[in-house]
Structure 1
């Protein structure tokens, strides 16, 4: 496949027209047009819909664009690897991350990346699904837990601790046993109004099955419901630290903890760990120096 054609295709997508792409690349418009025609012919699909007023990518074109960025970045990295004088981090990364994690942390991490590695471009897609990294053109993904049933490489970057909290008027004092939660209004994260909560206390373990009146698929919404006195909720510690410090929320159970969730960085295989992906992974690990989300960039400001 012609790298020049891929380069020109990505330029057309970013600039919005053949003429603008040609000007950016310093290539005659006729050459750009011919290469895109040849690329479409080679692939057997139309990549670009052309009208008199605008240009847009077809679904096939959008797929090729995501792959083309990675191919061009890899080609650039090969060139840099063969040039000892240049050890900079450059190219393009496409990363998937859970919605809440991304909203809470990725903006700060990407800001640091742009300062430290100005030649590295990053596309972050926030999704609570688990996209196929290879099929959907991702370099890596952040996931809650390890994907043990996949061939991907997985590396833990931090733990997310959760706490059971409520507004002070809901619980007069800390409960001694998880079973006591059954007497309180309970708020669930997820779907369904019957959930099992698991707790540990040293070597003791306890699972309680609870029925509640509210279930939501958003942790921030669940936090606001707890703040409003709707009931007891299980929430990420980093999300409620400020409210706990100010007394707007209180921890409900004495001595019992919820097993933490692992936040894993997942990529397709050892060969996928390029210099740019390694640099991004190091930034993620540096963002959480104590290995917990609540001790990370929200506290240190990176």
Structure 2
């Protein structure tokens, strides 16, 4: 399998026919057809379904196309790096990120990227799953609590602190101990109506198992429910700090800290850290100079 064959296969998929691809690349249609047949034979799968009226990629063909385009892009990057060794930021990045982080911050971060690096194109996929970087063609991912034994390279971006909050009308009674939450209506993030909340005070750890009357998989919706007086919620500080400052929410148990979550920038290997990936990573780190999401230079919606 060589780069020319991959380039021809990509052209066929883009142009929609062997004839159009051959014209675009300036080569005989018969030569191109033979090379694709050889590629199919080498892989042991059919890549293209041919009919008298149209051409369609098979599922295997679509997979090969995605990989081929990535290989061709990397080959182009190598060529540019050798011919223009100026460290310029150009090319394409495909990044996966958690939904909440992406909604709160990435719009501003990618806007900065576009201003600074107009030759860099970005594909940002917001998902709370953890896609396989290699199999799904991602250059990197932003992940919460990335496992220490992962084979991938991981660099901490920032820590996300959480607080326990409720609307002022629910805070008539001062509570000093996490166990006191059991007497209050509870709002849960996630699936299921029973959850364990963890608290720390110095070296003291305390866990409280709570049953809630409402569970949601959106922190934005959960914040609105808390502001509306539906109950007590444990929320990322960056998402509710303005609501606390302006009196829409009050922090409960201020002397008890919730364990922080760590956001990491993850990529396959040290060799994968291209100039464009390094530039994007540096933008992320610079956005949170104190190492916390709530103390960063960006503000959700700001």
| TM-score, scaled relative to structure 2 | 0.86
Q: Secondary structure at the match of 1:264?
A: strand
The question of 1:61 aligning with 2:61 is answered: yes
1:259-300: CA deviation from partner (whole Å, max 9, x where unpaired): 210001111222222222212211111122221112335339
Q: Paired residue for 2:115?
A: 115
Residue matched to 2:218: 218
Moved more, 202-211 or 148-157: 202-211
Which residue of 1 is the match for residue 80 of structure 2? 80
- Cross-structure match for 2:229: 229
Partner of 1:163: 163
1:31: Cα distance to partner?
Answer: 7.5
Separation of aligned partners in 2, 1:60 and 1:277: 29
Tell me which moved more, 198-207 or 11-20: 11-20
Shift of 1:103: 1.9
Measure, in 2, the Cα distance between the counterparts of 1:296 and 1:107: 15
User: Structure 1: 5+ residue runs without aligned partners?
Assistant: none
Q: Distance in 2 between matches of 1:157 and 1:197?
A: 25
Alignment of 1:1-302 (within 5 A): 1-10=1-10, 27=26, 30=29, 34=33, 36-49=36-49, 57-296=57-296, 298-299=298-299
Query: What SS does the aligned partner of 1:110 have?
Result: helix
Asked if structure 2 preserves the Cα contact closer than 8 Å seen for 1:8 and 1:32, the reply is no
The question of whether the paired residues in 2 share the 8 Å contact of 1:80 and 1:87 is answered with: no
Relative to structure 2, which stretch is displaced further, 93-102 or 261-270?
A: 93-102
CA distance in 1, matches of 2:27, 2:119: 26
What is the aligned residue count? 301
CA RMSD of aligned residues (A): 2.9
Instruction: Describe the SS at the equivalent of 2:112.
Output: helix
Equivalents in 1 of 2:236, 2:298: separation in Å?
Answer: 13
Q: Deviations over 1:80-126 (max 9, x none)?
A: 33235543122222211111112222222222222322222222222
Secondary structure class of the residue paired with 1:60: helix
Partner secondary structure for residue 282 of structure 2: helix
> Gaps spanning 5+ residues in structure 2: where?
none
Q: Secondary structure at the match of 1:175?
A: coil
Q: C-alpha displacement at 1:244, in angstroms? A: 1.9
Contact persistence 1:92–1:122 (CA under 8 A):
yes
TM-superposition CA deviations, 1:149-208 (whole Å, max 9, x none): 321111101111111111111112542111111110111111222211111123332211
- Any idea what SS the aligned residue of 2:142 has? strand
Cα distance in 2 for partners of 1:181, 1:101 equals 28
The answer to which of 191-200 and 104-113 deviates more is 104-113
